Amino acid sequence: MDFQRSTTITSTVTRIPEAEYVNPFVLKLDLDDPWEKRKTYLMTLLVLPIRALLMGVCLLVAWAFASIGLYGLSEKERRSIPISGWRREMRELTALAMRLLYFFGSFHRIKVNGECASPREAPIVVVGPHYSLFDSIVVAFCGPSTVVAKSKAADLPLIGKIIDITQPIYVCREDPNSRHITRHLIIERVISKEDWPQILIFPEGTCSNGKAVVQFKPGAFGPGLPVQPVAIRYTNPTNTVSWTWQGPGVPILLWRTLTSLHTGFEINFLPVYYPNEQERNDAKLYALNVRNYIAQSLGIPGTEHGYNDCKLMNYMIAIGMPYFAWSHDIGKMRRWLGLADGTVEQSLLDRYGPFTEQNSHIALDEFARRLDISAENDSTRILFKIFNKDNDSAGLIDFREYLLLALFMSSLGKQKLDLLKLLFKLYGVERDLIARDGLYLAVRHLSSITPEQCDQLFFKADNANRGLISFEQFERSINCHPILIDLQELNEPKPYAAPQQAHTS
């Protein structure tokens, strides 16, 4: 395969046609086909209990082998000395038991292309795209490899011991020094003359739907040593495995996967990637090129989506903001359309307010006209489609939903009070005046206040008993009230928040 390496990282991004645009953080898993419904329910009754029993037995056997292999080793020894002799044989048996677990869990069709390189050839294995916990089957086919895992994984019943037998590098994402410590431990392992197994990393750092390969974190590429890229894919027509930010949760995915007749899985061991001088000196460039190499081998795009988006999505989930899984896409399309600073949307608050059911539900042409952008522009159509319930560029959207997200994103890093002032206009019923129900709509994403507490503040501010208040009246009414502390905070994610993916059934 011919692969063209990038030699620089540029901020210029190729615009993507509407028909080819994908969001890797969204998965829709339907059960609408009558045959699929009958088959799934039949498999649930007749096959799932047997599979679950056999998988449970395999898990217990794997745990037993891992426990035997770790017996007598202190935590310090587990992390500083590679296991050998009979302990290594216990690790091999643990991997075999895990492969059987997957076999009994519907993974009967595992196709392996290429060969896993030796640790001396490639001390680090990088795997993408990262779909879900099912991807751990790759570990069993790589030796097994050492993994980089969250520190909390060590406390998981049964699974913790199985992870420990791989002598993992544990990461504590809540620790601000975690990135530096992890990078140091990786370098320490790969340059060691001791017989450590390969380190297997999912460098995306988050899960996706597999329709694109998201940005790679540079940690695995910092040492500047050769890596073996591994491209994986699930070959069933219906994706029942991806644990995305918007989509089915783990119970639904397990159920749908374990009730499938077969789950096809393909592991492609690509040739060892030897970095050139520029890549050795620039971990981000190295990561980008390997990401593109894996994406090209699978025939899917690389995308700007990445782990850094997770912090913003976590924040949006915590405050109840809609369309969190589309935050990256909304921000990118608005940048491409010259709307990033929010001035256009702020001007529309005065031009079209107050917003009602009659003037808020609009089609694509009116959406483009209001924002003074072209309706034929792919970025316009993609942005409109995000807010269309049918995920189409036809039909209508609620313009208030778009304005909420646009105002929220253009206010990131600013005081929440600044955003609240704009939301008074968005949800107001007269110029700069808001009613009781509108007040709660304005403050619900900016504070943990309850509707009852919000009503109390409204009545306190409405000293003229008009049923309407201004922003200035509200601001005076919250003096010395706990909500003022919330509203004086910056509208931005808290640092070092560990991703907590949200799902819908």
Reported as a single tens digit per residue, the pLDDT across 109-168 is 899 999 999 888 999 999 999 999 899 999 888 878 888 877 777 778 888 899 999 988
- pLDDT of 353 reads 87
Q: Are 278 and 261 in contact (CB under 8 A)?
A: no
Mean pLDDT for all residues in the chain: 89
- pLDDT of 142 reads 83
Q: Which of 276, 305, 334 is the last residue of a domain?
A: 305
Q: Give buried/exposed letters for 95-118 (b at 16+ CB in 10 A, else e).
A: bbbbbbbbebbbbeebeeeeebbe
- pLDDT of 11 reads 45
Answer whether residue 12 is part of any domain: no
The verdict on whether omega for the bond into residue 129 sits within 30 degrees of 0, i.e. cis, is yes
Same domain flag for 266 and 151: yes
Nearby residues of 70 by Cβ (< 8 Å), 6 or more positions away: 78, 87, 161, 164, 165
Residue 203 C-beta-side C-alpha neighbours within 13 Å: 32
Closest alpha carbon to 213 in 310, 125, 295? 295
For residue 14, pLDDT over 80 is answered with no
Q: Which of the residue ranges 187-191, 204-208, 316-320 would you say has the lowest mean pLDDT?
A: 187-191
Same domain flag for 237 and 176: yes
When computed from its CA atoms, the radius of gyration of the chain, rounded to whole angstroms, is 26
Same domain flag for 248 and 328: no
- Tokens at 80, concatenated: 């500083």
Task: Report the distance separating Cα 367 and Cα 397, nearest Å.
Answer: 9
Q: Which of the residue ranges 127-131, 227-231, 416-420, 496-500 would you say has the lowest mean pLDDT?
A: 496-500
Answer whether residue 473 is part of any domain: yes
- pLDDT of 12 reads 43
Query: Residue 202: what residue type?
Result: F
Structurally, the chain folds into a number of domains equal to 2
Same domain flag for 300 and 314: no
Answer whether residue 10 is part of any domain: no
Q: What is the pLDDT of residues 30-46, one digit of tens each?
A: 877 888 889 999 999 99
Answer whether residue 499 is part of any domain: no
For residue 498, pLDDT over 50 is answered with no
Same domain flag for 219 and 291: yes
Q: Tell me phi and psi for residue 234, to 5 degrees.
A: -100, 130
* Bridge partners, 229 (sequence order): 126
Q: Which of 267, 285, 305 is the last residue of a domain?
A: 305
Q: Are 291 and 284 in contact (CB under 8 A)?
A: no
Q: What percent of the chain is predicted at pLDDT more than 90?
A: 69
- pLDDT of 25 reads 95
Answer whether residue 496 is part of any domain: no
Residue 271 C-beta-side C-alpha neighbours within 13 Å: 6
- The helix (H) or strand (E) run that includes residue 113 is strand 109-113
Same domain flag for 242 and 389: no
**Domain limits at 115?**
18-305
Same domain flag for 438 and 322: yes
The verdict on whether omega for the bond into residue 144 sits within 30 degrees of 0, i.e. cis, is yes
Answer whether residue 210 is part of any domain: yes
- pLDDT of 10 reads 54
For residue 505, pLDDT over 90 is answered with no
Q: Which of the residue ranges 16-25, 209-218, 220-229, 468-477 would you say has the lowest mean pLDDT?
A: 16-25
Same domain flag for 279 and 322: no
Answer whether residue 13 is part of any domain: no
Q: Are 135 and 206 in contact (CB under 8 A)?
A: no
Q: Which residue is associated with the tokens 């789950």?
A: 263
222 — pLDDT class (breaks 50, 70, 90): confident
Same domain flag for 358 and 377: yes
Same domain flag for 288 and 332: no
Closest alpha carbon to 116 in 103, 125, 128, 107? 125
* Bridge partners, 199 (sequence order): 124, 146
Q: What is the pLDDT of residues 317-351, one digit of tens each?
A: 999 999 999 999 999 999 999 999 999 999 999 99
Q: Are 316 and 440 in contact (CB under 8 A)?
A: no
Q: What is the pLDDT of residues 373-408, one digit of tens each?
A: 999 999 999 999 999 987 767 789 999 999 999 999
For residue 447, pLDDT over 80 is answered with yes
Q: How many Cβ atoms from other residues are within 10 Å of residue 14's Cβ? A: 5
- pLDDT of 173 reads 66
Same domain flag for 263 and 319: no
Q: Which of 267, 290, 305 is the last residue of a domain?
A: 305
- pLDDT of 119 reads 87
Q: Chain centroid to CA 141: how far?
A: 25
Nearby residues of 119 by Cβ (< 8 Å), 6 or more positions away: 143, 195, 196, 197, 198
User: Greater confidence, 17 or 50?
Assistant: 50
- pLDDT of 480 reads 80
Answer whether residue 25 is part of any domain: yes
Task: Report the distance separating Cα 71 and Cα 453, nearest Å.
Answer: 57
- pLDDT of 257 reads 95
Same domain flag for 28 and 69: yes
CA distances from 246 to 325, 327, 504 (A): 6, 12, 6
Closest alpha carbon to 445 in 319, 296, 318? 319
Euclidean distance between the first and final Cα of the chain, in Å? 40
Q: Which of the residue ranges 99-108, 214-223, 312-321 would you say has the lowest mean pLDDT?
A: 214-223
